Amino acid sequence: MTATAWPLEQTNARIESFARQARRKFFRHKLAVWGLAVTILLILAALFAPWLAPYPPNEVLPSFGAKPSAAHWLGTDQVGRDVLSRLLYGTRVSLFIGFATVAIYVAFGTFVGMTAGYYGRWLDMAIMRLTDIFLSFPYMLVVLVIVSVLGANMTTIMIVLALFKWPTIAMLVRGSVLSAKELDFMKAGVALGLRTSRILLRHLLPAIIGPIIVSATFGVAGTILSEAGLSFLGMGVKSPQASLGNMLHDAQSLTVLTEQQWLWLPAGCMILIAVLAVNFVGDGLRDALDAKT
């Protein structure tokens, strides 16, 4: 073992020790553990929706607007579709949009932020001015305009939401990289002549992954709410495909709100539970990955 390789191994050992401490702190956070359990249950329910749903989500049954009963636990909607089945499939769609959108913009934002922070100079300046341009747009207004022009579907919603969320991640990652690249293990990697890709992926990324994970977790909750809002306004996932947002959209009349609560209450409660659970996980991760606590 060379003397110059020692700082890198020492840093990796510190990262592994920090990961164990973070895991212990997370599981001491009761709300975070509850949120993680609920999030896992929701993901499992979404994955196994074809087997859990008592009816196909778009099947029209003879009962129109039927109250909850043994045959239909959450009743049927005004078209005759089983609400429980649509709730399971709607949760599947909303969670998929939430996680897929976050995966897209976190991956892109991390790449952009690491590039700007590591190389600096004119490239950093150009990238940061580009992020400033994106951040200056009125987010939801522009999203509504683009979706109305391109057409409302899952792919469009994910791309448009990711398009205006990556600058936040990029700025977060850039700041972390500017701090981390002055540390000894980064200088040791450069002195050893390691490839830039190896330095960035194997040594720098693990050192800054904590803030990225926390931001991504909160981003999932925010994206679920954004999708629900767009679908509620009729600019998101379109019927007959179920989503939590368009289930609320289909129940906007005063009669439904006052007399047929089973048409909107399950979807509203599911959005509330999903967002709370993911946010609690984010709170736990934030506390667990904070080296000061």
Sorted by where each starts, the structural domains of the chain and their CATH numbers stand as 3-57+71-288 (1.10.3720.10)
Spatial separation of the C-alpha atoms in residues 28 and 38, rounded to whole Å: 17
Question: By the 8 A CB rule, do 154 and 237 touch?
Answer: yes
Is residue 191 very low, low, confident or very high in pLDDT (cuts 50, 70, 90)?
A: low
Question: Residues 238, 153: contact at Cβ < 8 Å?
Answer: yes
Would the pLDDT of 77 be above 80? yes
pLDDT tens-digit map of 201-217: 777 787 788 889 889 99
Peptide bond into 68 cis (omega under 30): no
Average pLDDT value for residue range 35-52 = 93
| Across 89-98, 111-120, 192-201, 224-233, least confident range | 192-201
d(CA 254, CA 210): 46
pLDDT of residue 87: 92
Model's pTM, two decimal places? 0.84
| Burial per residue of 119-144, b for 16 or more beta-carbon CB atoms within 10 angstroms, e otherwise | eeeeebeebbeebeebeeeeeeeebb
Contacts of 285 (CB under 8 A, 6+ apart): 26, 32, 210, 213, 214, 217
Mean pLDDT score across all residues of the chain = 83
Task: Kindly report the length of the chain.
Answer: 293
Instruction: Give yes or no for residue 86 having a pLDDT over 80.
Output: yes
Q: What is the pLDDT of residue 233?
A: 82
State residue 6's pLDDT score.
46
Structure token digits, residue 162: 């990711």
**What is the pLDDT, as a whole number, of residue 5?**
46
278 phi and psi angles, rounded to 5 deg: -65, -40
Tell me: pLDDT of 239 over 90.
Answer: no
The whole-number pLDDT of residue 271 equals: 93
